[in-house]
Structure 1
Amino acid sequence: MPPRARARSYDPAKTRTAVIAQLRQVRKAAEGLDATALDAPTRLGDWTVRELIAHLAMAVTSVVRLLERPAPPVREVTVTGWASAVAGHSGPIDEETRALAAGAEPGELLERAEARFAEVAAVAPADRLLAARVGAMRLDDYLVTRCVELVVHADDLAAATGVPVSHDRQALATATRVLADALAAKAPGGSVEVRIPPFAVIQCVEGPRHTRGTPPNVVETDPPTWIRLATGRLTWAEALESGPLTASGDRADLSAHLPVLG
């Protein structure tokens, strides 16, 4: 049994700043979209761009909504626990997203999300417990998950519209690390080293543990490619063929362990 990895910590102040910064990048990209662009399809089932933007706004306004509810008694879920459980709540998330998209224009939703976050979420105590869908979480942990949502779906928005959406560096680093740690939790072990420079290095997959020198099994890629792999936007074979992914060693094929986030 490999030793248990120490939970990664995130600076609450930097995380809050990253949430706002990434939301602003989304707002900037969405400003020039006309009705035709908003009704265009996305790679997320039958969601249109309009619904995708509503979901991005909801990722942020959910913080405010949860802060307005009574705090649960004890913490139940960490960031890694969220990553493994969130796919099981896709039904209610889809329903709420569609209702939100039908009730207001995308630009209004994003503007309101930023304003309410600055008013409520940006000043709440980091250890405040929230009754999240997946279980009770600390506010600072939940904000980390908001970085993941914003980065992943900003990439979806760029893919659907052809409009580049920049990633805030802190938000991108946070999303990269969360999804790397989710892989380490899903496939525990020390036989494969996964490198996602400049943000993360983890070991995973059962087998002989590497302790010194050059690891026999190494996977390396860039953060955007890793995020697409970890969320099922890109397959292992596609990433190998296109070049951003390299894998060496008998155990370096991680396709059986991906995606880690639905």
Structure 2
Amino acid sequence: MSLKNAYLETAARAVTLLDAPETAAAWRRPSALTQWTVGGLAGHLMYQIFSVDQVLQEPESEQEPISLVEHYERAEWIGAPLDGEANSGIRAKGEGISSEGVQPLRARVGAALDEQRTGLGEVPDDRVVFLPQTGWALCLDDFLVTRLVELAVHMDDLAAGVGLPTTELPRAASDPVLRLLTELAVRRHGQTALLRALTRVERAPAAINVF
């Protein structure tokens, strides 16, 4: 399965989670994430799909793309306080997207995903895409990995908040996500910390989180 198809399959599973009656019933309740409602978190999850539309509608960027690791090293939201400007802005965008309600949001994201099934096939994997929210560029495949990370993490968050099991991702989606998170964890905590967390719990650090 190609990375494009892995993204499309994962995005479709996120839409299925949005469709769940449990999600609609809990829309205005607190989610599993601090300071997020279920609806706001669902809006943020669907934004990951809408963001692919944004980059496909722009002409190819002339900027030199940066690496995935550098993309996350530059990210202002990582390690920022929950009430800080970066995270407050992310929450506000998610709440804004969710304000239209479940059914209108479902219709809009379904239409976007239908168009992407055709649109993604028409652009090369190494196309350079500009990210207006960051000010730098990535190659398309790397950008899709960032969407897979967001979809995987927040599908788990949303499912946990509404009492549903977390959906297993296809290997073509989970493999690049776990490779990237492993590399970021090693850069943040060191090789030994990750080795012990996976093999020697008695000597493992308390946390090896990336975000």
TM bracket, shorter-chain basis? 0.7 to 0.9
**Is contact 2:40–2:91 with CA below 8 Å preserved after alignment?**
no
- TM-score normalized with structure 2 length: 0.79
After alignment, is 29-38 or 129-138 more displaced?
A: 29-38
The runs of 5 or more residues in structure 2 that have no matched partner are 78-85
Instruction: Measure the CA separation in 1 of the matches of 2:111 and 2:43.
Output: 11
Indicate if the aligned counterparts of 1:29 and 1:165 stay in contact, CA closer than 8 A.
no
Separation of aligned partners in 1, 2:182 and 2:165 = 24
Asked whether the 8 Å contact 1:50–1:106 carries over to 2, the reply is no
Aligned mate of 1:43, from 32, 37, 40: 32
1:40-189 mapped onto 2 (5 Å cutoff): 40-88=29-77, 89-103=86-100, 105-132=104-131, 133-134=133-134, 135-170=136-171, 171-188=173-190
For structure 1, list consecutive stretches of 5 or more residues without a partner in the other structure: 1-12, 195-217, 222-245
Paired amino acid for 2:210: V
Report which of the two has the higher share of helix: 2
Counterpart position of 2:3: 15
Q: Is contact 2:125-2:140 (8 Å) kept? A: yes
Which 10-residue stretch deviates more, 155-164 or 83-92?
83-92
Percent of residue pairs identical: 23
Superposed displacement of residue 137, structure 1: 0.8
TM-score norm. by structure 1 comes to 0.66
Structure with the bigger RCO (C-alpha within 8 Å, sep 6+) is 2
Instruction: Give 1:145 deviation, angstroms.
Output: 0.8
Root mean square deviation, CA, Å: 2.5
Which protein shows a greater Rg? 1
The CA distance in 2 between the partners of 1:191 and 1:50, in whole Å, is: 39
Contact 1:77/1:136, CA 8 A, preserved across alignment: yes
| Distance apart, 1:63 and its partner CA | 1.4
| One-letter amino acid matched to 2:143 | Y
Could you say what secondary structure the match of 2:21 adopts? coil
- Distance change in 2, residues 1:36/1:45 (3 Å): same
| Higher strand fraction (1 or 2) | 1
CA distance in 2, matches of 1:121, 1:91: 31
1:173/1:121 Cα in 2 relative to 1: closer, same or farther (>3 Å)? same
Q: How many residues align?
A: 197
Could you say what secondary structure the match of 1:55 adopts?
helix
Q: Is the 8 A contact 1:72 1:130 kept in 2?
A: yes
Letter in 1 for 2:2: K
Shift of 1:51: 1.9
